[in-house]
Amino acid sequence: MKKTLVVLVFFICSAFLSQKEFFSTPKYWPKPTYDFSKNPIDANKVLLGRVLFYDPILSANNTISCESCHSPFSAFTHIDHSLSHGIHDSIGSRNSPALMNLAWKNSFMWDGAIKHLDMQALAPISHPSEMGSDINSSVIELNKSIKYRKLFYAAFGDSLATGEKTLKALSQFLLTLVSANSKYDQVKNGTHVFSAQEQNGYILFQKNCSSCHVEPLFTNDTFENNGLPVDSFLRDVGRMSISSNADDSLKFKVPTLRNIEYTYPYMHDGRFIKLSEVLNHYTKGIQNSKTLAPQLVKGIMLSANEKVDLISFLLSLSDKEFVFNPEHRYPKIN
């Protein structure tokens, strides 16, 4: 009897120990917008989503995975590519967004076309220049695979893949991509302090940038025209292409600045490679138009030294633990 009890206690304890925390909200962050009650985080679902994320099985000819354009080492964007390329070497029309802190977003894509994280993956899976497939074909392929049969069974108690389960599992993995341990976060937590240069950069940031790049997520998750001249080849009008509203012309989603060190090139079309180019745009490159963000009408004034300080603050948003987290990488399973 006693022996059974000991064994039982051991099993219960080990069950609790193996229950890793996949998602938590830092103290000074707002509540997530994702409704976890409809898709509660579960270790097996996260694993399935992670396997799917790295598997080209979702593309039409088994060549392109989510990771192709969202590499963990660049905070899940397509490093060194102004525009991302997909199946048959076709080139897209926008820079692939970095993936992090997605549980706090209300819409996705540079133009906000997608309203829910669960539905986001449908777009790249179906896009002829990205994965060139469709969710129905992907699900058929998944159901042919013994490996996935096992993973779906472990995650959902049913080996049959469906569109709903596939997309929910992908969401689960994406939700675990929380970046909240940069130097900035450590300063907020009181475990670290800014250097004098970073502190000065932080003050400049709060004065000039924080109305759109709102702390602590460093985005207000809305759409703004930041005065970029229109590319004559792409002629991208941004949000207006979705809303058909002229007030949205040339507006794009305000991106987070977290991990900005790793996510170059910058802007919706990846036109700037260095942070100094970005700051130069804000100080002397802004083009006026009807929809220009009101905060930018007068431009931003920064001296050469101030730019250096501001960049040193922006580098404090790098989260090495996030970028090099082995839990986010290609999963080794049989």
Partner 1 sequence: MKMKSTFMLLTIILTHFSLMGQGKIVNISFDVLINKSTLQIGKEYNIQQNKISVNVLRFFISNIELYQNENKVFFEESSFHLIDIKEANSKSLSFVLPENIVYNKIKFALGIDSTINVSGVMDGDLDPVHGMYWTWQSGYINFKMEGRCSECPAIKNDFEFHIGGYQYPFNAFQEIVLDLKKNNPIKIKMELFDILGSTDFKTTHRIMQPNKEALDFSNKLKHAFSIQGK
Closest CA to 311 of 198, 149, 172: 198
CB of 174 to partner 1, least distance (A): 13
Note whether 242 binds partner 1 by CB under 8 A: yes
Residues 134-163, mask of contacts with partner 1 (x by CB under 8 A):
xxx--x------------------x---xx
CB of 116 to partner 1, least distance (A): 5
Residue whose CB is less far from partner 1, 10 or 36 = 36
Residue whose CB is less far from partner 1, 163 or 285 = 163
Note whether 32 binds partner 1 by CB under 8 A: no
Note whether 168 binds partner 1 by CB under 8 A: yes
Residue whose CB is less far from partner 1, 68 or 171 = 171
Note whether 75 binds partner 1 by CB under 8 A: no
Note whether 274 binds partner 1 by CB under 8 A: no
Closest CA to 243 of 218, 227, 222: 222
Note whether 90 binds partner 1 by CB under 8 A: no
Burial zone of 199 (CB within 10 Å; 0-12 exposed, 13-18 middle, 19+ buried)? middle
Structure-block tokens of residue 215: 């702390």
Note whether 69 binds partner 1 by CB under 8 A: no
In the list 6, 119, 193, 234, the residue contacting partner 1 (rule: CB under 8 A) is 119
CB of 124 to partner 1, least distance (A): 9
Note whether 58 binds partner 1 by CB under 8 A: no
Note whether 118 binds partner 1 by CB under 8 A: yes
CB of 133 to partner 1, least distance (A): 10
DSSP, collapsed to helix, strand or coil, labels residue 274 as coil
Question: For residue 179, which amino acid is it?
Answer: S
Closest CA to 293 of 236, 238, 252: 252
In the list 43, 123, 214, 315, the residue contacting partner 1 (rule: CB under 8 A) is 123
Closest CA to 129 of 80, 77, 69, 169: 69
CA distance 131 to 299: 40
CA distance 282 to 73: 28
Burial zone of 123 (CB within 10 Å; 0-12 exposed, 13-18 middle, 19+ buried)? middle
In the list 32, 67, 79, 127, the residue contacting partner 1 (rule: CB under 8 A) is 127
CA distance 276 to 161: 47
